[in-house]
Amino acid sequence: MSDGYRKKYIDLHLHSTYSDGTLSVKEIVEYASTKKLAAISLTDHDCIAGIHETMDVAEKIGLEVIPGVEISSMYEDTDVHVLGYFFDPDNQDMKRKMDEIRLIRLERAKRIVDRLNAKNILLRFDRVLEFAKGFSIGRPHIAAAIMAEEYATTYSEAFDKYLGNGTEFYIPIKKLSPKEAIALIKAAGGIAVLAHPYVFEDQTIVERLLKEGFDGIEIFYPKQPSTTVRNFRQLCQKYNLLESGGSDCHGEYYGDVNIGSAHVPYSVLDRMRAFLHK
């Protein structure tokens, strides 16, 4: 790869219809190509089923694809998302755990729909599954069904009324700890990155989380304040951690298609590979 090509940008945080994104793998790859990105990573929530398709589609246009995932975990009553990169997508332990989490998500979604139906918010579960495309189901898919049945007009309204934490229909989901998620990724040959740490209300949790075994922090993220970027970069230097980043694009859930908006330099991948080869 030429030095000129290495100066291009990448996006290591993307969601497709395999989880709660609204774009297909093909649409993501095509859009990344129009943005002239050098590499992408599909990081669907608790789902690695779309990785091989992404690689196959991207190979035809010469777009590099890094195996990725975003695993949901819980730490001190706080939701923590763990990004995994460069792992073996055919690792059997990883595949088994993702299948296990998929079933947990499925059962939770059924229970939420049952609660809604009991209060005359009438949804067919088959309708929810249509929006989930049969893979990693989440609350956004239920929100889509709620909107389709005209109980809400936007995703925000659906969550505010029916699906958000604290609503009467909310059901917590069993999650891994960050340490367990990190161990799963590393056992499959990958590296573990703390996703979008700036979203934590209590920023003191970040440094505690880093002691769980993370290899890096998601530094580049759309609309993140520059002061926050500097703080996280200092933590990377303090703990000798990798920098990462991506748009976290979900398609229309964000109101637009913001693939490539984080402006992550290709040098991020160079450092990740050097880390893996040590």
Length of the chain: 278
Per-residue pLDDT tens, the chain, 278 aa: give them. 444 444 699 999 999 999 999 899 999 999 999 999 999 999 999 999 999 999 999 999 999 999 999 999 999 989 999 999 999 999 999 999 999 999 999 999 999 999 999 999 999 999 999 988 878 899 999 999 999 999 999 989 999 999 999 999 999 998 999 999 999 999 999 999 999 999 998 999 999 999 999 999 999 999 888 889 999 999 999 999 999 999 999 987 556 679 999 999 999 999 999 999 98
Strand-pair category, 242-245 with 264-265: unpaired
Rounded Cα distance between 246 and 14, Å, is: 7
Q: What is the DSSP letter of 121?
A: -
The domain locations on the chain are 9-95+181-277, 97-163
Helix (H) or strand (E) holding 69: strand 68-75
Q: Are 123 and 108 in contact (CB under 8 A)?
A: no
Right CATH for 97-163 from 1.10.405, 2.60.40, 1.10.4160, 1.10.150: 1.10.150
Rounded Cα distance between 18 and 132, Å, is: 7
Looking at the domain that runs over 9-95+181-277, which CATH code has it been given? 3.20.20.140
Taking the model in full, what pTM does it have? 0.92
Strand-pair category, 78-85 with 264-265: unpaired
